[in-house]
Amino acid sequence: MNNTTVSNCPHFILNYNDSVTALLVRLFNEPIEVSILNQQYQKILPNKQLDNKHDEPILCRTALLFGAHSKTKYLYAQSLIRKQQLNSNMLDALLHKKAAIGSILNQYGLNATRELLDIQSVDSATLRLLLNTEDRITARVYRLDIDQIAAMLITEYYPNEHYQGVADNATIND
């Protein structure tokens, strides 16, 4: 991780290890909606952080999380999900509900842990357009393990303008 990026990012991103949707509700005091932009199975090259096999089908999912009232776009996420590591109920929920991954994990009470892999500043016109921002975007990459086995590789993109000051004053470990 780049120390400059870490010092400039919203601080909650470094330590938060629970449902991001629940955090967004607390930070912005409004319900959060999830728009699944794309989800499809693909066979991707083996990835050492995801620990997938070459012929293993991976669910590739992109989602946008936004305020139900304000329509403010708070987060864009890209997820690579190993379907073999999920029970059938959770996989069905991922495929058929408009819900964030953390909310689904909490619903099924799975023994999940997150390992922060990288935080970086991203300069992407496409992401700025998608998130409706001209400000910097911080990307947080982490691996989510279920029962100590790599199950997901998730990259979340945060438009910094929404988090400066708000996250510093919020209690995030309720």
Domain ranges of the chain: 3-169
Cβ 90 vs Cβ 108: under 8 Å: yes
When comparing pLDDT for 15 and 44, which is higher? 44
For residues 73-101, average pLDDT: 88
- pTM as predicted: 0.86
Whether the per-residue pLDDT at 132 is higher than 80: the answer is yes
In the chain, pLDDT over 90 holds for what percent of residues?
46
Half-sphere exposure of 168 (CA within 13 A, CB side): 9
Distances in whole angstroms, Cα of residue 42 to Cα of each of 83, 122, 166: 11, 25, 38
Q: What per-residue confidence (pLDDT) applies to 15? A: 61
Q: What per-residue confidence (pLDDT) applies to 166? A: 67
CA-based radius of gyration for the chain: 16
Banded pLDDT at 91 (limits 50, 70, 90): confident
For residues 115-133, average pLDDT: 93
Report which secondary-structure segment, H or E, holds 108: helix 101-108
Q: What amino acid is encoded at 38 in this protein?
A: N
CATH superfamily placement of domain 3-169:
Chorismate lyase-like (3.40.1410.10)
